[in-house]
Chain A
Amino acid sequence: MNEKEFLEEIEEILNVEESVTMETELDNLEEWDSLVALMFQSFVFKKTGKAPNPADVGQAKNIKDLYEFVK
């Protein structure tokens, strides 16, 4: 999955009004909460066949860190 496709997917998962970039900080996104993190985990599972460790997802600082899980 390339960066552009990932940004489209993550915007869908986050349900954001404004577009996000790879640099967008998760702390600044009110949409990023524990439930959305869970939705992100199942997205990663669907794409890669591997369930990410929830604690590792919790460590992510920005969108680029999330991209690392599916790259």
Chain B
Amino acid sequence: MENYVLITGASSGIGRDIAVTLSKTYPLILGGRNVERLEETRAMCTDSDKHIFWNYDLADVENIYDNLTAFIKNNELKVGGFVHSAGIWFVTTLNLVKLNDVQKMMNINFLSAVEILRSLVKRKTNAKNLKDVILVSSIAPFKSAKGEAFYAASKAAINVFARAMADELAPNTRVNTINPGIIHTPMMDNLLRDNEQFEKHKRTYLLGFGETEDVANMAEFLMSDKARRITGQHFVVDGGATIAI
């Protein structure tokens, strides 16, 4: 049997579309808190009965390692790929920021990926099976925006971590990030409902806002053997937003 790809955030938006796309090629471990929404994703996938759930709240970052390790051992899984798409986003000024909220965002966006990866590279758990890691980051670290400092910091942490891991885990495992600009998903719906913000952003999106499949296509390429010489890189999928003035 082919090795599994674990996808966090598989219950919605970008992670869901990555799951649907990768299900054509790999059996999947769909990660998320909400089983109903995971079921919806599974129903959209090719060969839906091949895919299984890892139902876990990543905010509980301290127990990720033990929980995932037990999950892999108990189900005798071989995990060949990891896509981290779980993430939260909020806007705040420095004046009003709550440390608790930032810590939660850091946990879900960044530290959960650390703990998952730590479990997946443990030889006693997953031998040398892990070949490909894709961390969904953002263009936020490349393009500053008022109110996004803390989100950008969590994504900058992901970028730097990916580069360091590409080095540390070579030649067995490749590690890359995908850095999307604004993509139509539930996460962005609120922002796009605000006309002023919408117009401001729209001007810099030379090719318009993205769709989840634009990110899924990049993930499909990076997960494949066609990307076998690529590691430690950031792949910007933003319709030109970072280069526009």
Q: A residues bordering B, Cβ < 8 Å? A: 12-13, 15, 34-36, 38-39, 54-55, 58
Contacts and interface: CB of A to CB of B under 8 A. Distances in A.
Contact of A34 (B92, B95, B193, B196): B196
12 contacts: A12-B96, A13-B95, A34-B196, A34-B197, A35-B91, A38-B91, A38-B194, A38-B197, A39-B92, A54-B194, A54-B195, A58-B196
A12 B95 CA distance: 8
Nearest to A13: B96
Contacts of A15: 93, 95
Contacts of A35: 91, 93, 146-147
A55 B195 contact: yes
B203 to A, nearest CB: 15
Contacts of B96: 12-13, 39
Given A35-B147, A38-B147, A54 B93 contact: no
B195 A36 contact: no
Contacts of B195: 54-55
A13 B95 CA distance: 8
Minimum-distance CB pairs A-B, first 8 = A15-B95, A54-B194, A35-B147, A35-B146, A34-B196, A39-B96, A39-B93, A38-B91
A16 to B, nearest CB: 10
A56 B187 CA distance: 23
Contacts of B91: 35, 38-39
Contacts of B193: 54
Nearest to B196: A34
Contacts of A12: 95-96
Given A35-B147, A58-B196, 14 more contacts: A12-B95, A12-B96, A15-B93, A15-B95, A34-B197, A35-B91, A35-B93, A35-B146, A38-B197, A39-B91, A39-B93, A54-B194, A54-B195, A55-B195
A38 B194 CA distance: 9
